[in-house]
């Protein structure tokens, strides 16, 4: 997995760089002392970045502002000295949040999670998923899924004619769906891009058997979502 580091703390960068060299499935392509420099170089390079190690508190542009600038967001692991940004960071669906000083054991746990997500997304070569319903497994075509909605410790997978309630997290279900077809648009919603009827203000409208469903677009997800869709007349 190709990764970069963005952190104004030189010692922290060196620690993460050392951890990356000790991890055989990670390749460090660049290490930046600030987010502005990272943006300018990332815009010019063709190499795909799979994982970003990102600090929050940085001069000129902080980590959250940096996330807002990216149209295509790879996996992100926050490396911060303060816990107070964790809730806001997870609104951007970051893979993990590490508190400085970081131990290699905690680092490895985070990057292993990122590796599992990366590999599961790379293996999406089928057009269906199996969902457990009572004691049976039901085959559901990706194209039949309208949206996925979080409900406490469960998620509801909505198709045109049926709803499936499964004991899964949003992060896990997102990793099982093809990224070119399904987008996280809110902390509680994933939508099938092919089923969107229209987008109006901060809502997505999808036609279901029960009528038109209005799905909110979360503030933290809007810029990335609008950058991902095929939009004419920008």
Torsion angle (degrees, nearest 10) of CA 115, 72, 35, 17 = 20
Q: In degrees rounded to 5, what are phi and psi of residue 189? A: -140, 140
* Tally of domains in the chain: 2
11 and 116 part of one domain: yes
Question: Is-contact 183 228, C-beta < 8 A?
Answer: yes
| Residue 15 in domain | yes
pTM above 0.75, yes or no: no
Residue 59 sits in the same domain as residue 163: no
Q: Are residues 55 and 99 in the same domain?
A: yes
The domain boundary residue, chosen from 68, 101, 122:
122
End-of-domain residue from the set 69, 89, 122: 122
Say if residue 113 is in the same domain as residue 15. yes
My answer on whether 143 and 210 are in the same domain is yes
- Do 98 and 178 share a domain, yes or no? no
CA atoms within 13 A on the CB side of 162: 9
The verdict on residue 191 lying in a domain is yes
Could you give the dihedral angle defined by the CA atoms of residues 118, 2, 25 and 21, in that order, rounded to the nearest 10 degrees? -150
> What is the Cα–Cα distance from 112 to 101, expressed in whole angstroms?
19
Q: How far, in Å, CA of 78 to CA of 31, rounded?
A: 14
Give the domain range for residue 88. 2-122
Q: Are 25 and 135 found together in one domain?
A: no
Among candidate residues 34, 174, 42, 168, the one with its CA nearest the CA of residue 95: 174
pLDDT given at position 90: 82
CATH of the domain at 52: 3.40.50.2300
Cβ atoms 188, 149 nearer than 8 A? yes
Q: Both 25 and 44 in a single domain?
A: yes
CATH of the domain at 183: 2.40.50.1020
Res 46: pLDDT:
65
- In this structure, the answer to whether residues 82 and 109 fall within a common structural domain is yes
Structural domain includes residue 234: no
Going residue by residue through the chain (234 aa), what tens digit of pLDDT does each one get?
Answer: 999 999 999 999 999 999 999 999 999 999 999 999 998 887 776 678 899 999 999 999 999 999 888 777 789 999 999 999 888 888 888 999 999 999 999 999 999 999 988 887 665 556 788 888 877 888 889 999 999 999 888 899 999 889 999 888 888 888 888 888 899 999 999 999 999 999 998 999 999 888 899 999 999 899 888 887 866 554
Q: How far is 207 from 213, CA to CA, in rounded Å?
A: 6
């Amino acid at each position: 997995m190709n990764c970069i580091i963005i952190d104004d703390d030189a010692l922290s960068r060196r620690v993460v760089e050392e951890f990356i060299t000790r991890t055989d499935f990670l390749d460090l392509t660049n290490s930046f002392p600030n987010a502005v420099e990272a943006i300018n170089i990332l815009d010019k390079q063709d190499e795909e970045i799979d994982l970003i190690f990102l600090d929050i508190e940085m001069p000129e542009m902080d980590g959250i502002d940096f996330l807002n600038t990216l149209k295509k967001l790879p996996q992100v692991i926050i490396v911060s000295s303060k816990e107070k940004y964790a809730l806001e960071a997870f609104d951007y669906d970051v893979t993990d949040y590490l508190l400085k000083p970081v131990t290699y054991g905690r680092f490895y746990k985070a990057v292993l999670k990122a590796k599992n997500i990366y590999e599961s997304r790379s293996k999406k070569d089928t057009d269906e998923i199996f969902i457990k319903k009572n004691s049976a497994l039901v085959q559901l075509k990706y194209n039949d899924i309208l949206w996925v909605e979080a409900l406490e410790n469960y998620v509801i997978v909505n198709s045109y004619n049926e709803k499936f309630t499964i004991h899964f997290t949003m992060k896990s279900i997102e990793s099982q769906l093809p990224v070119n077809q399904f987008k996280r648009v809110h902390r509680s919603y994933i939508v099938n891009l092919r089923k969107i009827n229209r987008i109006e203000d901060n809502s997505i409208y999808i036609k279901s058997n029960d009528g038109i469903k209005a799905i909110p677009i979360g503030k933290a997800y809007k810029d990335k979502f609008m950058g991902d869709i095929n939009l004419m007349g920008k």
